[in-house]
Amino acid sequence: MPVEEIKQKWDRLWEEGIIHFYPEENKSLALKDEYFSLLVEYAPERAKRFIGEKNEHLPLGEEIWKRKDMLFEFDNLVMLANNRPVKLYHSILCSKEHHIQNELSFIEIQEASELAERYGFRLFLNLLGTAATLNHFHTQVLLEPFHLEDLPCEINGNGGRIPKYPGGNILITGSLKERCSRLFDFIDRLTHSDYFYTVIKNGRRSETPLFTLLFWMDKILFIPRKKEVSYFMDSMVGGLELSGHFLIAAPLSPHNTFEGMNREKLIDIIKDVTFSQEDMYRL
């Protein structure tokens, strides 16, 4: 069973010190709500993930299926351990052959969605311009449900939305091929839209509109992005945050790690970096 093999290899890499994970240093703040429960986590080790030189052409090197941190090789994708994870078993699912993050391949997206359905993985896709920092196609992988999964869905046929989610979204379901085909149709519509845009970290607009994707079970949540960085949170907002799990790598106050972090502010962050529910009717 791949999940058990992945966990065993991940645990071994952690014991060997290849995975830098110190949960005893982390702190968390749970904001429970019957509508949409949220979590804020302080993980100081994550601040070190940008240290060191990067190979811009082959950031993961050649033949990534031979890397020591390789957890499992699938058909077109390889799972690698995240060396500074957010939580236990946090990994990345990468294309075997290098191509840049924002060039999406139908066959790889289809395989990612299939793995989410078959093995219960939770995947989120950040693009360059929506919080990705690695320019080799990959999705982040978690083994625990997203917080937003508790929200009620409205589905008609192969699609719908999550109406109580703070940001505009399109929920795609159906058979594997159907949902991936619909996803690429929406991506094409977004790319050619004159209305949607994305302001990236440097304050400029991206060349084409960008988005975030979340995968769980037989579902794909498509979230067009207005901004990469929220006015309410001076750091990049990615799929993890949009799922309801907010991460900070530095304490907001020396005496109060989560000072100013409340549910209203976190909801405002999601609203700030996404379009509205009404905007989705333009796609």
Task: Indicate the length of the chain as a whole number.
Answer: 283
Average pLDDT taken over every residue of the chain: 94
pTM confidence score: 0.96
**What is the reported pLDDT for 251?**
79
CA distance 154 to 161: 5
Number of domains in the chain: 1
pLDDT in tens, 2-13: 999 999 999 999
**What is the reported pLDDT for 101?**
97
Which CATH number does the domain housing residue 68 bear?
3.30.428.70
Asked whether the predicted pLDDT for residue 51 surpasses 60, the reply is: no
CA atoms within 13 A on the CB side of 22: 11
Check if the beta carbon of residue 270 is closer than 8 Å to that of residue 36: no
Check the CA dihedral 16-18-19-24 and report its sign. positive
Check if the beta carbon of residue 173 is closer than 8 Å to that of residue 215: no
**What is the reported pLDDT for 41?**
95
Domain of residue 239 covers 2-282
Token match 């989410």: residue? Answer: 116
